[in-house]
Amino acid sequence: MRRLPVSIATAIVGLMTVAFAATVSAAPKDISGIYVNEQITLILRGDSTGNYTGTIAVGGKSHPLAGVYTEASGLLGGFKVDNQSFDISIDVQDDGTLLLQSEKKRHILKRKEVAAPVEQPVPQPQPAPANQPGQITPNGQPAAGGPALPAFMKTGYRMYWSTGRSTTNGASLVPDPNGFIERNGKRYSLRGHNGRGQESMQTVTVQEATEKGILAEMRLFSIDANLQGKVISTGGISLVAGNPVALGDYWMNPAVLAQIPQGREVDGTTTVRVRYAALGKEFNAIALFRTNGDGSASLTYDLDSGLLLAGYRCDRAPDFAVQSPDGTHHFNGSVTIERFNLLGARSIDFAGANQDAPAWAVKGFTMEFRGGYRLEMQQQGPYALPPQQGFPVAMSFAFQGGTKKTAVAQFSMVKNIDRGGLNDGGQGMRCFGGAMYFGALWMSPGVIQKLQPNAVLDEDRITGYRTIFAGVRGGVAVIVEKGPNESTECYFDVQSGMLVGWKNGLQMIPGATQVTEMQLVRRQ
């Protein structure tokens, strides 16, 4: 399963920010109850808006769960195990059973004919006489009428962070007659393990923001170093879902932040108000600190905008000893450190920002792409190597639901990494809408017709990427994105607007480029 960032900001208001609300004309079906199979017991409690909380019991241990249910997308949510969060989706079958799907497994759960436990609201010492805009109700959800979204939190709003992550694994005790450590009459020396780290940059672009929910696209840019300098490339894209209270750890509604009292401590969390210097100026900020046996974290937010100014996490995985046949004792615990620093934010006028999603972008629709990647080298002279054959790649997008203007799909990818058939891959959730060029699965045909050849669609001075419309070639519209080290051409059918393929070139070092080409092979 994919590990997700641990949110402490949303814990302050008792909210797991895995909200996704599709546009519906009536209240969603109530799926509250207890569902079981031989391995899992699932308890769900919902409200009239489709927000669900509950527990999932696996292997005798119970874990808190939260999510949002709509008729179009089912229940999208997650649960936590030892400070790790996991994505799940739940679909209601025609016979009333639930299909619970994680990233690797599927389970069919049957309803147990007993009522689900009723969760009592947290007592309030001095309850307000009525819900006011911006007030948070006892269950951590926004009260009717608030909090309202700030004017800037809309389609096309993009936020930027400089990020870094490093992991150090436990050491090993190696048999050594001259070692300084003695165990059970034997001597050992200590051998440390090299850590690994990654400098990166993240952008979060809002695809749709309403009082029902926020859908955004997170794009990760990997920053790698070699003898020629730094190489910036796209490291991955994923869905970020939220609501008017918060968008992951990236943003919290200022109305919510204003209600958090200074010095408050909940589950080890402490809150202070500070003046924080960033981006050449000082912000009125609020800092949230939490520490426990699994690690520590701090998040600092601008009180005016709610943007995350800086974040820090240190997660510790517990040690467990493994003994090798040669007598070496490996301690497989690890420490992971992660940091975030705000680089800026801006609103982008995307050409298709206000367009509806195409009629085919509905739950059950699937797009499959096939192609490959290879290394191309500039060579001269009699000793030039023959062209590289490359390795195959397969990708698919299975649509899970969406709104009038956006769609959510499950992404999966498999690629060969050697001639012996060894594969690598990944999967996750993606969001698609009109506020994107690179990574989009469609462009409105009406928008394509209005674009002029060689028109600059966007100039991103923070990432260094430039997007242009290259024109129409043989019934295919070409969008080109060029960065410091990579260039991508995206091909859209001018009649349907559907993405039919793309080509990416990443220059690893001068004269050597990794080329990836993909083509749409099936849609249904």
- pLDDT tens digit string along 424-465? 888 899 999 999 999 999 999 999 999 999 999 999 999 999
Give the whole-angstrom CA distance, residue 8 versus residue 16. 9
Burial class of residue 2, CB neighbours in 10 A (0-12, 13-18, 19+): middle
The pLDDT value recorded for residue 277 is: 96
Contact 221, 234 (CB under 8 A): yes
pLDDT over threshold 80, residue 25: no
Q: Cis omega before residue 382 (within 30°)?
A: no
Give the whole-angstrom CA distance, residue 181 versus residue 189. 6
Q: Report the range out of 51-60, 268-277, 378-387 with the highest average pLDDT.
A: 268-277
Residue 15 or residue 228, greater confidence? 228
DSSP strand pairing (229-242 vs 157-169): unpaired
Give the whole-angstrom CA distance, residue 444 versus residue 40. 44
The pLDDT value recorded for residue 446 is: 94
- pLDDT tens digit string along 174-216? 888 888 888 778 888 877 766 778 899 999 999 999 998 999 9
The whole-chain average pLDDT of the chain stands at 80
Residue 5 or residue 51, greater confidence? 51
Map out the domains of the chain with their CATH numbers: 9-112 (2.40.128), 157-347 (no CATH), 366-523 (no CATH)
The pLDDT value recorded for residue 332 is: 58
- pLDDT tens digit string along 137-185? 333 333 344 589 999 999 999 999 999 999 887 777 788 888 888 877 8
The pLDDT value recorded for residue 68 is: 72
Q: How confident is the model at residue 256 (pLDDT cuts 50, 70, 90)?
A: very high
Beta bridge partners of 30: none
Contact 322, 171 (CB under 8 A): no
What proportions of the chain, in percent to the nearest 5, are helix, strand and coil? 5, 55, 40
The pLDDT value recorded for residue 473 is: 94
Q: Please indicate, yes or no, whether the overall pTM of this predicted structure exceeds 0.95.
A: no
Q: What is the 3-state secondary structure (H, E, C) of 411-474?
A: EEEEEECCCCCCEEEEEEEEEECCCCCCCCCECCHHHHHHCCCCEEEEEECCCCEEEEEEEEEC
The pLDDT value recorded for residue 257 is: 95
pLDDT over threshold 90, residue 6: no
- pLDDT tens digit string along 293-337? 778 899 999 999 999 999 999 987 765 555 666 666 555 567 889
Residue 96 or residue 155, greater confidence? 155
Task: Look at residues 25, 67, 24 and name the one whose alpha carbon lies nearest to residue 47.
Answer: 67
Centre a 10 Å sphere on the Cβ of residue 95 and count the other Cβ atoms it contains: 8
**If you average pLDDT over residues 41-62, what whole number do you get?**
72
**If you average pLDDT over residues 345-369, what whole number do you get?**
95
The pLDDT value recorded for residue 422 is: 75
The pLDDT value recorded for residue 322 is: 57
Give the whole-angstrom CA distance, residue 218 versus residue 249. 12
DSSP strand pairing (265-266 vs 269-278): antiparallel
The pLDDT value recorded for residue 318 is: 63
**If you average pLDDT over residues 401-426, what whole number do you get?**
87
Q: How confident is the model at residue 73 (pLDDT cuts 50, 70, 90)?
A: low
Dihedral sign for Cα 404, 14, 262, 307, please: negative
Contact 329, 323 (CB under 8 A): yes
pLDDT over threshold 50, residue 121: no
pLDDT over threshold 90, residue 221: yes
